Amino acid sequence: MSTTQVSTSRTSTIVITGGTRGLGLGLARALVERGHQVVVCGTDPGRVRASGLPGIVADVADRDQLQALWEHAAGAYGRVDVWINNAGVSHPREPAWRLPADQVRHVVDVNLVGVLNGCAVAMAGMAAQGSGHVWNMEGLGTDGRLVPGLGVYGATKRAVGYLTDALAKEVPPGVGVGLLSPGMVVTDLLTHGYSEEERRRASRVLSILADRVETVAPWLADRVVDGARNGARVRWLTPGKIAWRFATARFTRRDPFTAP
């Protein structure tokens, strides 16, 4: 297993897929604030432009488009030090057998095939340049936790966890891979598909465990370069933090669905 660490003695070039909205955009902006060069991609040209960041339109399900993203970033900055497979989608909260085939395929294409494509492109490029690190995003299902109605999404994230562990034993010399676990972040990915009644029932747990992008993104940004070791797992919402939040919930008021 490689133990190479990305150098923190200089500005790093970082690519973030799905970096034009939600946590990806928040993370990109936090990394820029820390002096790094960030390149993003998204499927919506308007969002790519509105991000204010260097980037291109790219669909992670298409490996050639991710190769173009690599070449765009490496061409602009000479190399890519860190690649973050952040792009992800969910689906309506329905049993897997009720979901239309096109919705299932879209979730699998983005959440799993997209990560496979990103890893393949980034690791090949990093092997050629001699170093680099890939981060994959954890999500509901990575740890095996089950939520009815989110089976397909959870299955893709479970597969991403397995894939990342496998890649940690397969990486070329000088290259590392690891998992970023942002916890429950209030983006459209978390809140997607809630009816008003479901939101009301879930609000107590979410008010305890969920966090805003503005809280989580800077914390992750401090670690995606400094913590880039092969096999690393960077987790925001640790078991200890979860226990503490539940223990102190009666003394705090948190509403993740309301802007600060």
In the prediction, which pLDDT does 173 show? Answer: 96
Residue of 220, 223, 228 whose CA lies nearest to 27: 220
**What digits encode the pLDDT tens for the residues 123-174?**
999 999 999 999 999 988 788 878 888 899 999 999 999 999 999 999 999 9
Q: Please, are residues 184 and 194 in contact by the beta-carbon 8 Å criterion?
A: no
Say if residue 257's pLDDT is above 50.
Answer: yes
In the prediction, which pLDDT does 254 show? Answer: 58
103-135: b (≥16 Cβ within 10 Å) or e = bbebbbbbbbbbbbbbbebbbebbeeeebbbbb
pLDDT (mean) for 221-235: 95
Helix or strand holding residue 206 (H, E): helix 196-209
In the prediction, which pLDDT does 32 show? Answer: 98
In the prediction, which pLDDT does 148 show? Answer: 85
Which structure tokens are listed for 148?
A: 């009815």
Output the average pLDDT for the chain: 88
Q: Collapse the DSSP code of 51 into the 3-class scheme (helix H, G, I; strand E, B; otherwise coil) and give the result.
A: coil
How big is the CA angle at 180 (ends 188 and 57), to the nearest 5 degrees? 55
d(Cα 85, Cα 122) in Å, to the nearest integer?
10
Residue of 103, 4, 96, 87 whose CA lies nearest to 47: 87
**What digits encode the pLDDT tens for the residues 42-67?**
999 999 999 999 999 999 999 999 99
Which structure tokens are listed for 84?
A: 């973050």
* Distances in whole angstroms, Cα of residue 184 to Cα of each of 59, 126, 201, 234: 25, 31, 16, 14
Say if residue 240's pLDDT is above 50.
Answer: yes
d(Cα 167, Cα 194) in Å, to the nearest integer?
35
Residue of 217, 259, 222 whose CA lies nearest to 26: 217
Say if residue 196's pLDDT is above 80.
Answer: no
pTM of the model: 0.88
Sign, CA torsion 240/1/165/206: positive
Say if residue 13's pLDDT is above 90.
Answer: yes
Q: Please, are residues 239 and 185 in contact by the beta-carbon 8 Å criterion?
A: no
Q: Collapse the DSSP code of 122 into the 3-class scheme (helix H, G, I; strand E, B; otherwise coil) and give the result.
A: helix
Beta bridge partners of 15: 39, 83
Give the residue with greater pLDDT, 79 vs 191: 79
Residue of 7, 22, 8, 21 whose CA lies nearest to 182: 22
**What digits encode the pLDDT tens for the residues 18-45?**
999 999 999 999 999 999 999 999 999 9
In the prediction, which pLDDT does 253 show? Answer: 64
Q: Band the pLDDT of 8: cuts 50, 70, 90.
A: very low
Q: Please, are residues 142 and 160 in contact by the beta-carbon 8 Å criterion?
A: yes
Distance between start and end Cα atoms, the chain: 43
- What is the percent of the chain where pLDDT is above 70? 85
Amino acid at 12: S
d(Cα 154, Cα 144) in Å, to the nearest integer?
8
In the prediction, which pLDDT does 256 show? Answer: 55
Give the residue with greater pLDDT, 211 vs 134: 134
Q: Please, are residues 150 and 93 in contact by the beta-carbon 8 Å criterion?
A: yes
Give the residue with greater pLDDT, 201 vs 171: 171
